[in-house]
Structure formats: structure tokens, C-alpha cells
Amino acid sequence: MKIVDVVGARPQFIKLAPVLKAIQKHNREAGGTPIREVLVHTGQHYDYEMSQVFFDELGLKVPDHHLGVGSGTHAYQTGEMLKRVEEVLLAERPDAVLVYGDTNSTLAGALAAAKLHIPVAHVEAGLRSYNRRMPEEHNRVLADHCSDILFCPTATAVENLRREGFGNVLNGGRLLPRGGPGELFLSGHASRSGPLAVNTGDVMYDAALLYASLSEKKSKALEELGLSPRAYALATLHRAENTDRVDRLAGIMEGLERIAAEGLPVVLPAHPRTRKALKEAGIGVRGVKVIEPVSYLDMLALEKGARVIITDSGGVQKEAFFFMVPCVTLREETEWVETVEAGWNVLAGWEPEAIQQAAKGSRQGDEATPVYGDGHASSRIVSFLSMFTNIGRV
């Protein structure tokens, strides 16, 4: 069996790593259908700090196809990816295409495969923020509706798909009201003619478990930045809804500056989009330690050591939850509702006072419950892929 993995952005490299390891393990074991994996890097993230360092640290194979699309408008970027991914798929003729998350690379990979009638499997399916101003929301919804197999990270994601009419819950021929990891959700009155969804758990949790101990051994980030554990705030900021609106960007930066002025150092590994937006808006940064983007292992170390994390990133919200570090989210909604319900995440938006108060009063929730699975999501994904020829093309 041949599958093509389409990735292009930093969070996707992290999600890809445990899946590739699970494929390698599967291929070493006797009895399973061997999987040949072809890696396509669209080039959505292309500089070293946002791309190659992740391949180096996570031990990822060199991409079989590097498309070199680079930056641009959403239409340009998605269109170029669509054309170039299609060329790869026509040459490779895979049995399935695997896409991850909610970026332009995700949508382009799903669309290109669907147009060629190649089955699509979507890792991290079923997420919804219900904010249609977010480009990620369009990408994830459209990718789901192009997909033949939907790998959901949580029961909430499954319920979102159910509400959109994706179908019934099926496990061993029995209809069930809900599903834990491994239970199937089949659309079309439980027929084989519609998309198949399964709650696998979250591959980012797999990655956190895989690499946290390695981070402790290798990362010198706290030492190099002069930080003490539980004595700083870690901030990340990259979403277009925050960086492309001067009022929101200014409000967020003022909120971070207020936190730093109260005596809690704030470290901001700055996404290239954020640096550009700050410069173009003429927004000065006072009191916040702005640094270059950091590697995955350094990011894990900074997250684990922080007193509070302030972010608009979905992945960072989850990693804060994994490490039981209080989180303040710079949005008014989140697709990762479990983190809020458990008391580890506060939605603060972009007003300075709200950010300051949320960080100051961020409480720790109860011990994190295993809503993101048991650390074996990647193995489940590979098991379902290996059975794909038995399931049949849908």
C-alpha cells in the first residue's frame, strides 16, 4: 500500500513525526499490510527555524517531493499547492493521501486528491471553532468534507461531525451514543458508501509523550535565556485574526507589556508574520523579550517551565494542557474546548486588561483528564490505514 503525506507548516511536522514512527513499527512487524510512505512538503513554511529544524530534531526523512511554494495570499498559496500536489499524485498514484490539521497545505492536499478520486484521510478531523473569519476554519471544514477517512482527536470532534450529518456510530455492528478511541463512525445509514470516522485520540499528545524527555535532556533554552522555572510567561502570537488587525495586535502587545511590568518576564518567540505586522504597524515592544522562533524541543522545554502560557495557537493550548501549565488564549473561542472546560485555559481575547487579569488570575484546573487519548493515536491511524484495502475505496 502506498500513501502520500502532505505537510507544509510547523504544526504538521510535529503531527507527522509519531505517525511516521508508527508506520516504521508497523512495517517491522509481521502480518500487517506493508505501507510505503511518500512525503510531500509544500514549502508553506520554508525557513530553517520554521521548517528544517523540525525535520532535523524529530528525525524525519528528507521529503520525497519539496514543492517550494513559499508565502503569498491564501488564493495564491492554495492554488500553487493544488497544482503542484496534483502533479505529484499523478506521478505517484497512491492508494490514499494523508493530510494534517487545518492549513492551506491541508486543503490543497485534500482537494487535489479528491479531484483525482484518490481516497483522503484527514488527521485532526472534526475540529470546529465556529468562527468563519478564521482561514483555518474554512480549511478544516472543507478538508473534512473532501475526506473518506476522518481521524478525530476527541469525542467532541466526533460530535461536531455528527451534527454536520456525517452519520451514525458503529462498533462491531452495534450503534453507540458516543465513542472512545478506536470506535467507528460511519455515515450514510451505516453503509460503506460514505466517509468513515474514528476517534483515535490526538497525535500531538503522542508527540509530546515521545519528545518531552528528549527535550529535558537536550534543550538549554531556559539557561540560554536566563529564565528560572515557573518564573516567566511564555507567549506566542501568529494567527491572522490577531496579526492583521492593528487594534488587536496593539492590544495584545500592551497586555503582554503590562504583565512584564508587574514583574513576570514575558518571552515571545516571534513568528515571521508577527514581526512583519509589528514593524508595518509601527508598534514598539517594551519590556517583552522577543526572540527568534525556537525548535520543537526548545518549545517543549519553555512550555513545561512556564508559570503561564499566553497564546493564540491551538497546538500550544493543548501542550499547556498536557503539561498542566495554565493557559491564556488570545481569542474569543477555541476548537479545543476541553482545555477550557477542565479549567486550564481562559479565553481572554485581545483587550489588554482582560489579558493582564487572566494571566494574573489564571488558575490551575484539576488534574488533566485523558480527553486526548492514551498516547497511541498514531498506532490506531496506521492500523486503520493498513486495513484500508479491506474497507474499500469509498
Report residue 133 as a C-alpha cell.
Answer: 473569519
Count, residues in the chain: 394
Is 238 among the residues known to form the active site?
yes
Distance CA 278, CA 272 (A): 10
Q: Is the CB of residue 106 less than 8 Å from the CB of residue 140?
A: yes
User: Is-contact 328 336, C-beta < 8 A?
Assistant: no
Of residues 336, 345, 366, 350, the one with CA closest to residue 152 = 336
Residue appearing with cell numbers 484539576: 366
CA neighbours closer than 13 Å in the CB half-sphere of residue 87: 9
Contact indicator for 301, 216 with CB cutoff of 8 Å = yes
Which among 41, 45, 238, 376 is annotated as catalytic? 238
Q: Grid coordinates representing 149?
A: 477517512
Q: Distance between alpha carbon 347 and the CA centroid of its chain, in Å?
A: 19
Q: Please spell the DSSP secondary structure of 175-226, one letter per residue.
A: E-SS--TT-EEEHHHH-TTS-EEEE---HHHHHHHHHHHHHHHH--HHHHHT
d(CA 317, CA 339) in angstroms, rounded, equals 7
* d(C-alpha 278, C-alpha 267), whole Å: 16
3-class secondary structure per residue, 233-247? EEEECCCHHHHCCHH
Question: Torsions phi, psi of 386, nearest 5?
Answer: -65, -25
Q: Reduce the DSSP state of residue 348 to 3 states and report it.
A: coil
Residue type, 257: E
Catalytic residue ranges: 238
